[in-house]
Structure 1
Amino acid sequence: MTGGRRAGGGRRRAGYGLAALLLTLQALTGCAPGSAEGTDDGETAVRQLLDRWSTAVRDRDENAYLAAVDPAADAYLAERRQVFGNLADVPLASWRYRLVRLTPGGGQRFTADAELRYGLTGYDTVPVTTAVRLTVVRRGERWYVAGEQPRGGRQLWDQGPVTAVRGAHSLVLGVGQDRERLAALADLADRAVPAVDAAWRDNRWAGRVVVEIPASLDRMGALLDAPASNYRGIAAVTTGEVGGAGTAPADRVIVNPEAYGRLGDFGRRVVLTHETAHVATRAVTTPATPLWLSEGFADWAAYRDTGRTARQAAPELAAEVTAGRPPGSLPEDADFGFAGEPGRLARAYEEGWLACRMIAERWGEDKLVAFYRAVGARQKRAGAVEGALRDVLAVGPEDFVARWREYVAGAF
């Protein structure tokens, strides 16, 4: 579904003399005596401020981090102190703010639209990029960060202290969860990676997964910048932009602690393998890839070696077929909407899974992988599936759908 340690530092640096400390604070706030008041000079000062603020996070230097925050913004200062502490267990490989635009806000206050780019040590080959809107203020010759408004969802460490558990192929980050639950997630993610490797047959993906589990469904919605009700019955989702041949921003598997908690061991295994398949296929999943194929392939990878029958794995579709209401066409993207009717959503997944299972059985698993790649390689949706059916499977779309309908009817 789309659309997986050792504690970090967090230590304060000590040993600065008073003169050195004053010089450092002046540099951190991006100002120097005699700075000009023009827009260009203001942008330069704010870039310097954000660069030093970023360095303070990477260096785990709390004093330097808080020195960049407006001392008059009491609530924001307390919030930043908490967030800095929440990051202590997160293994950061990189952290950088990049100024995009600086807009006057009246008086000595400005709005700084920026991007935060961060990566996790040993897991992210490309950083996560998220937009943030900062309020910056000039006080005399010094510049400070005085507030912020995330644009595109909160980060996990904004919600509380993060606990990190490292597996052989996974990193699990949790807030409000005990370590035992996080370790169980890491174990399942570690089992999911080789299962996906066997299905996807491509060693060019990273072979590791980052999993995040917030404290509640509401907190999950905040991470995804969407109403929590959209994900009430969804055990997990995978974030990340499609495409890019290895340059797409890093994926995160976000677990719904409530829906996931209601699953049994087998269901949890399927969910983690399904989401890991999305991570593996992300670079070749493009706007040309229909959801029946991306979701169907992820389910195929998840069920591939489980021995589950079609009736066991697709109960909603089985009920419809048994009642004399078989599907007439492959599911549309809209059928996969999380906010839609739950039965239709389940059937959409089941129909996509059976389409992929049919390809694997009748043309071979290598052909299924080749078909997936061929569809994504076309970049645009129009004609992508039709062209890949012709080039890889040597069938037309009408013939394929007719075979699929027959296959579905015979599966139950």
Structure 2
Amino acid sequence: MSPVRRLLVRALPLLLSALLAGCGAPAVRDAAEQDVREAVAAWSRTPPAQLAGIPLEGWAYEVSAVRRDGAQATARAELHYRLTGYDFAPAGSAREVRLSRDDGGRWRVTGDRAAPGAPPQLWDQGPVEVVRGAHALVLGVGQSAQTLSAIGAEADRAVPAASAAWPGPWAGRVVVLVPGSLERMAQLLGRPAAEYRGMGAVTTGRAGAAAAPADRVVVNPEGWAELSAAGRGVVLTHEVTHVATRAATTAKTPLWLSEGFADWAAYRTGTTTPQQAAPALTRAVRRGELPAALPADEAFAFGADPEALARAYEGAWLACRLIAAKWGDDALVRLYERAGRKPLATALEETIGGDPPGLTLAWQASLRQDLGGA
């Protein structure tokens, strides 16, 4: 064998080891980093004592990165947990866990918080009070027991109302978060507070998710306080309906249909007239400003002009009300189901035998009649 061939043969094992190390072999962690990871794992086996009243399961921190600075360390981790009886899949939260090393060389967790850029959890804002109802779990911070109980009772009424409007499968229960202020609400949602000013509540969740672990109704305590008793019922039923219809809602679903359906569910058994529930649109129609088309998705953007936003919601509700009145409640439900999977024109043809222009004309005629603009 030539000297060159002998050199290649001897070098081959080393070459293969180098290639494997660069092609997916796990990086070797130093002992200190491994100790940090083990300390986080040991600390996170059970939820903190201050969360004892919250029905939690599957509580675990999955560490993705560790940064050490002498006797201090920070671990970037993803918190996974379920609310027992309410979540079908783990909810997630990006966290930053802080640790320090004691004189004996052991790493101990000194605290954790939301990771930079990630929204906090409700318990990051203070001690959490828990109210359990027949259909709802209410978690609040900085609120009186009376307020949380009243919200829980309203949610317990909203769940059956949403189920009556939406016969499709859903959990039939809801989680309601009640932070201490509008600013705290905005922190939980990771958005500017101005976007939620004047709103009573919003719903979080991912469209089209059959198992939506983080689907929560979040109450704006300042907007809630300004609502009448009837208004609170409408707001919570609207938001709970979003939870109920979540699995059928996709990016294809027009916002006028999803928002209008939620309002239709909230108003369907009441005696509120169109003029009472749609004052902004009533004023516009009486000024001769009849909408030229059903509300576009952009019309529902948070932070938009309040009067224009109100007209969009009111018009969406009246469109769904018209469909239910003219073609039946079942037709409206079937339209919702199909509009999430097919083009709107196809869904309309299959459910009411019409098309978008025809629906628009019928809707405009109903606005003139119902809002006094004839």
TM-score range, shorter chain: 0.7 to 0.9
Q: CA deviation at 1:40?
A: 7.4
> Match for 2:29: what amino acid?
T
Q: CA deviation at 1:111?
A: 5.2
Give the match for residue 174 of structure 1: 140
Q: CA deviation at 1:233?
A: 0.7
Give the match for residue 153 of structure 1: 119
> Which of 350, 357, 361 pairs up with 1:398?
357
- SS of 1:331's equivalent? coil
Q: Does 1:116 align with 2:79?
A: yes
> Match for 2:356: what amino acid?
P
Give the match for residue 161 of structure 2: 195
Give the match for residue 18 of structure 2: none
Q: Does 1:284 align with 2:274?
A: no
TM-score (norm 1): 0.77
TM-score (norm 2): 0.85
Q: Structure 2: 5+ residue runs without aligned partners?
A: 1-26
Q: CA deviation at 1:137?
A: 6.1
Contact preservation (8 Å) 1:152, 1:225: yes
Name the CA shift for 1:85/1:55 in 2 (closer, same or farther; >3 Å).
Answer: closer
Q: Does 1:317 align with 2:276?
A: no
Name the CA shift for 1:331/1:109 in 2 (closer, same or farther; >3 Å).
Answer: farther
Percent identical across equivalent pairs? 50
**1:130-189 deviation per Cα after TM superposition (whole angstroms, max 9, x unaligned):** 222445566785444465443431111111111111111111111111111111111111
Q: CA deviation at 1:227?
A: 1.4
Output the CA distance in 1 between the equivalents of 2:174 and 2:329: 23
Q: CA deviation at 1:272?
A: 0.8
Give the match for residue 128 of structure 1: 91
> Which of 244, 261, 268 pairs up with 1:297?
261
How does 1:352-363 map onto structure 2 within 5 Å? 352-363=316-327
Q: Does 1:217 align with 2:207?
A: no
Name the CA shift for 1:264/1:137 in 2 (closer, same or farther; >3 Å).
Answer: same
> Match for 1:324: what amino acid?
G
Output the CA distance in 1 between the equivalents of 2:346 and 2:97: 47
Q: CA deviation at 1:377?
A: 2.5
Output the CA distance in 2 between the equivalents of 1:166 and 1:364: 36
- SS of 2:245's equivalent? helix
Moved more, 339-348 or 129-138: 129-138
Instruction: Number of aligned residue pairs: give it.
Output: 342
Q: Structure 1: 5+ residue runs without aligned partners?
A: 1-36, 58-83, 379-383
Contact preservation (8 Å) 1:102, 1:110: no
User: Which protein has greater RCO, CA pairs closer than 8 Å, 6+ apart?
Assistant: 1
Contact preservation (8 Å) 1:236, 1:256: yes
- SS of 2:280's equivalent? helix
> Match for 2:156: what amino acid?
D
Q: CA deviation at 1:399?
A: 1.7
Name the CA shift for 1:291/1:46 in 2 (closer, same or farther; >3 Å).
Answer: farther
Moved more, 317-326 or 101-110: 101-110
Output the CA distance in 2 between the equivalents of 1:388 and 1:45: 58
> Match for 1:209: what amino acid?
V
**1:23-69 deviation per Cα after TM superposition (whole angstroms, max 9, x unaligned):** xxxxxxxxxxxxxx943767755553333222131xxxxxxxxxxxx
- SS of 2:44's equivalent? helix
Give the match for residue 340 of structure 1: 304
Name the CA shift for 1:50/1:305 in 2 (closer, same or farther; >3 Å).
Answer: same
Q: CA deviation at 1:403?
A: 1.7
Largest Rg, 1 or 2: 2
- Please provide the CA RMSD for this pair: 2.3
**1:372-398 deviation per Cα after TM superposition (whole angstroms, max 9, x unaligned):** 1111134xxxxx222211222222222
